[in-house]
Every structure is written in C-alpha cells, then in structure tokens.
A and B are shown apart, each in its own frame.
Chain A
C-alpha cells in the first residue's frame, strides 16, 4: 500500500463487538472475520481521513515499535482485506 493512500471501510463493512465470543469482529457482506488484538488495533486507526503512513506512524508511537515493521504487518492485513473488497483506498 502506498504511504499516501487513504484506506477506508466501505459501506457494508464494520467493526462489531461480539459479546458472546468476547472478541472484535469485522462484519462484511456474508463474512465475519475474527480479529486478534493487532487486527483490531490497526482497523480502529482507519478513519477515512489519515493516510497509510500517518496510521503506521501513530501505531509505531503507540506500541513503541519501528514504523517499517508496523507498516509491513499492516500492509499484509489491509492487502488481504482489499483483495476481498472489505477495504477501499483513496489515492
């Protein structure tokens, strides 16, 4: 994902607190994706306003980790969601 790209969740894709399984889930058309802590942390940063590099910088500061490493992890998750069209990007 390009550093300047702005990721956002399109209509029909939303975060949901699953009170039965006590976990966060990404609900999408005919899919429910169970999120681990990292997945949830990444997706809550996506606000449709900030760029990929701003998001990874915020996560790097929050978790005291190198931004490159965070960007690598995020690109994997967000790329997989994008391939299913559960995530869109404004360039």
Chain B
C-alpha cells in the first residue's frame, strides 16, 4: 500500500450468476469458456447468505443472471430472500423456463425489474443465434406475460454483423412491448465471443450506421424509450471504462461461489479468486488479491500512466488487454494510444469479412469427471 492507493468504497451492484446452465447456446455468451459444473453450484441457503452479506456491504442492485437464472428451481425463493435483505432485484433472462405461473410467483416474491434478452427480431435469426428452436416464439409469449403483470421491462438486444440490420425493428419491438428501456449492446469480444470474432464482427459501416440509428431514435423516442448503447468496441478510438473501474462499483459471484471483479476475470492467468465458502464477502471486496490487482492507477504502464484519460477509462478492459495483447497490464488495444491499436483495427476489418461459422457455447458438465482406469 502506498500514498496513491485509492480509497475503496462499497460496491453498488452485484451480478449473481446463479447457474451456468442455459437452454440457449448463444455464440457470444459472457460465461467463461470453462463453465462451472452443475454439481458445484451454491445451495439456496448459501446464496441467501451471500445476498445478506452483499446488502451489509453496501450493494443496492442485485442482478440475478446465469446462464439462465430460471434454470434454478429456487429462483422465486432467492428473489424473496434478496428483497428481504433490502436489495433491488433485477432478473436477467432469456425468458426460456419462465411460465406465467412462475412469473406470478416472482411478482409475489417482490421481483423489481426484468431484463429480457433478444437474439434477433425474427424467429429465424433468434433461433439460429440462440441455438434453440422455438425460442423466439416462447420469448414473445413471456414478454406478453411480463407486460400483463406489469414488471418494468428492459429489452437487451445483442447485436453483431449477422443481425445489426434488425436494430430498427428491435427498437420498435421494445416500444410495442411497453419496455421503458432498451440496451442496444454490440457484442463485446470475450469468452465465447472471442471464438466467434470471424462470425460476428460488425463491419465499420454497420458500426457507424448503428451510431446513426441510435442518435435518431433517442431524439424521436425521448420520454417513451430510454436507449442505452454499447457501441462496437473494436471500431472505437477510446476504450470503455470497464466495470466502471476495476473493483470500484461492482462484483460478480460465479455459480460455484467464486468472487470475480468482472465476469471475464478468470481469463487473466495470474489472478487468484476467493470463494464465498472460504472468506466473508466484505473481506474479499476490500482485501482480496484479485480486487486489488487493478484498483486505481498504480498498476498502469505507459501510455496509460501519463495519460490525461487515466481516471476516465482506467486503461480500458484488462481482460481485453490479456486476450489481444497477451498482457493484462497493457493499455486496452482499442485505445488509439496503444501500440497495438492499428493491428486491432486491421484484425477487426479482416474478421468483418470472414465467413467463419458460428461456434455455439457448450453445456456445463453435470458432475466432476471421475478418473478412469
């Protein structure tokens, strides 16, 4: 610790990956390539305890995610416990696995908000991307139930080269569903998506067209639909302020209880992660090695170290520096000041005209593989 060590404030948000199981197999899934085994998932009681610890630590927003959180049969019970702990509960779902009865039970349990993913605006597109026949039709039914119950709804449209032309229709659908908000999220290339850069990378023209559509729609739909936009990362000049700054506002708990500074942090080989089974959540947040690894600005190299933007974007994404440059301490190669920026843009251009096939994500193992022989 030295004089420049930042004051660590309590986290505001926690992403609880309740399970890595999911009926869909989207090729850009944010789960790690090494999925948590089904038999390693935390029990209902452990999750409830983690929620109470999170609230005591200062977490306000709880994002219940997966995989598909509805794949957990105890979801209703978990929502109830989270509300009792004082947390704002947000369900991040594909809709698959939710019946009208379950949604009514979630309403009863106090669920605050639903974020529904959208893989495409037609059954053909959505079912191909999600790798699940009939998924789109089912999702539209779930959206109707969500509207009838009255849950506040955010539609989360994940966009890439294959479906960016559907953005105008996605915006219309959000309005038709009565969503207050849409997230227009261009795929970020981590984990499974990194295997699919050739299949999913938008072209520069698509990225600029999406900018234009979003700007126009924000003006036209003001007061009706809030549009949050994640632009195409590789086609930008400055990196994202990843996670609002490492270890500054949010944390992520994996299905097996591992506590991560972001969902992709396990891709950084030198980090080690604590587990809620071994250590109190507050201790992990304030003193865990992984959380302190990239807090503040002390860890930075040039060109970040002397950059005026260093407390604006905190050098961008550590996982992207690892994935593209091979060094998690490097400047995010998206940045124009990175010596690797030119190479990244050349890669993006090449990926955007590739004919690589989609690689869908895998299914988590049910139990630990037993040694044979």
Contact = CB atoms under 8 A, between A and B. Distances in A.
Nearest to B56: A20
Interface residues of A, number: 18
Given A11-B152, A16-B60, A85-B180, A32 B226 contact: no
A16 B226 contact: no
Contacts of A30: 61, 63, 90, 113, 115, 154, 181
Nearest to A10: B152
Contacts of A32: 12-13, 60-61, 88
A58 B259 CA distance: 48
A16 B61 CA distance: 11
Interface string B84-124: 00101010000000000000000000001101000000000
Contacts of A18: 58, 60
Interface in A4-32: 10-13, 16, 18, 20-21, 25, 27, 29-32
B286 interface: no
Interface in B145-168: 150-152, 154
Residue among A12, A13, A21, A25 with most chain B CB within 10 A: A12
Given A11-B152, A29-B152, A16 B57 contact: no
B113 A29 contact: yes
A68 to B, nearest CB: 25
B10 A20 contact: yes
A83 to B, nearest CB: 7
B206 to A, nearest CB: 26
B222 A83 contact: yes
B269 interface: no
Contacts of B151: 11-12
B337 to A, nearest CB: 31
Nearest to A18: B60
Nearest to B180: A85
Contacts of A82: 223
A27 B10 contact: no
A29 B89 CA distance: 9
A20 B52 CA distance: 13
A84 B152 contact: no
Contact of A20 (B57, B63, B112, B113): B57
Contact of A29 (B10, B57, B112, B222): B112
Nearest to B92: A30
A19 B223 CA distance: 32
Interface of B: 10, 12-13, 56-58, 60-61, 63, 86, 88, 90, 112-113, 115, 150-152, 154, 180-181, 222-223, 226
24 contacts: A10-B152, A13-B152, A16-B60, A16-B88, A18-B58, A18-B60, A20-B56, A21-B10, A21-B58, A27-B112, A29-B112, A29-B113, A29-B115, A30-B61, A30-B90, A30-B113, A30-B115, A30-B181, A31-B61, A32-B12, A32-B13, A83-B226, A85-B181, A85-B223
Given A29-B112, A82-B223, A83-B226, 15 more contacts: A10-B180, A11-B150, A11-B151, A12-B112, A16-B86, A18-B58, A29-B113, A29-B154, A31-B61, A32-B12, A32-B60, A32-B88, A84-B226, A85-B181, A85-B223
